[in-house]
Amino acid sequence: MLTILAINAAVLAACFVALWLICLGTRDVTPVDSFWAWGMLVMAASTYVQAEGDPTRMLMLLAICGLWAARLGTFMLWRWRSHGPDRRYSALLGKAQQHKGWSFARASGQLVFATQAPLLFVVCLPVQLGQIDALPPVGTLGMIGAAIALFGIAFETIGDAQLVAFKAKPENQGKLMTSGLWRYTRHPNYFGDSTTWWGLWLIAAETSTGLAAIIGPVLLTWTLMKWSGAPTVEKRLAKTREGYADYVARTSGFIPMPPKRG
């Protein structure tokens, strides 16, 4: 297990260094958001070719992770090509360069790539540790986990599609999205993302080694709810979208629920 994880860590580090060097040339680190998804698939695939676990479980973890990565990675790549550099990274790196005197290389390497690489490695532990043990075979818990993971992928896909369609209409410019799945949760994309990885962990959790990977979905959920996900988005929307406070008062912040009345 330690050998597999060490090789995976080396592969991931090499990928991040390569991406960092590419971004130095473009002076835009936004592609790291797309690699957030593809990098997890790389970890799943790297484990798949090394491990000797239960073949069915290994294939389930690789396939579902691949489906999730293809969907999210392609979407983030499209958003970057359509909307340009992410304002969050521009502000973060600009502040480091202006107030600390850091170069773009140091700021991007230290604040973006060196931060996201270990975070990615830990979050995707379910698709790594879940492939290690040969026993037991996939059972009821694994099937439930697969269903939950697929539900999460569908949920975030629908939420993102609804938001893109809403923003594409000129009459909605500057307005707040409050319909569709966004009527029941302020962050259907984050909820779907978290749900997917809890499902993948359930598949892994049928094995003693995979059970220890619970830190992955816990860290991801905390990150989305308390750190770089929802708090960042809500801080910006509170300043730019009229009626956002009312939307917050009646709409669940994460888990989909019927909107509150009054």
Q: Which amino acid is at 77?
A: L
pLDDT of residue 261: 82
Half-sphere exposure (CA, 13 Å, Cβ side) for 154?
7
* Alpha carbon of residue 260 to chain centroid: 28
Spatial distance between the Cα atoms of 38 and 124, rounded to a whole number of angstroms: 11
Angle 180-181-187 from CA coordinates, rounded to 5°: 135
Residue 252 — very low, low, confident or very high, per pLDDT cuts 50/70/90? very high
pLDDT of residue 117: 97
104: exposed, middle or buried (Cβ count in 10 Å: 0-12, 13-18, 19+): middle
Least confident of 34-48, 116-130, 155-169, 227-241: 227-241
Report the chain's C-alpha Rg in angstroms: 19
**pTM attached to this predicted model:** 0.95
Neighbours of 150 (CB within 10 A): 16
Neighbours of 165 (CB within 10 A): 12
190-203 per-position pLDDT tens digit: 999 999 999 999 99
pLDDT of residue 47: 98
Residue 229 — very low, low, confident or very high, per pLDDT cuts 50/70/90? confident
pLDDT of residue 262: 64
81-92 per-position pLDDT tens digit: 999 999 889 999
Q: Greatest CA span in the chain, whole angstroms? A: 57
* Alpha carbon of residue 9 to chain centroid: 18
Neighbours of 84 (CB within 10 A): 11
pLDDT of residue 228: 84
Spatial distance between the Cα atoms of 199 and 258, rounded to a whole number of angstroms: 23
pLDDT of residue 242: 87
pLDDT of residue 213: 98
Spatial distance between the Cα atoms of 163 and 15, rounded to a whole number of angstroms: 31
- Helix 2-26 to helix 31-50 angle (10° resolution) is 150
- Assign 3-state DSSP to the chain and report helix, strand, coil percentages, each to 5: 75, 0, 25
Q: Which amino acid is at 52?
A: E
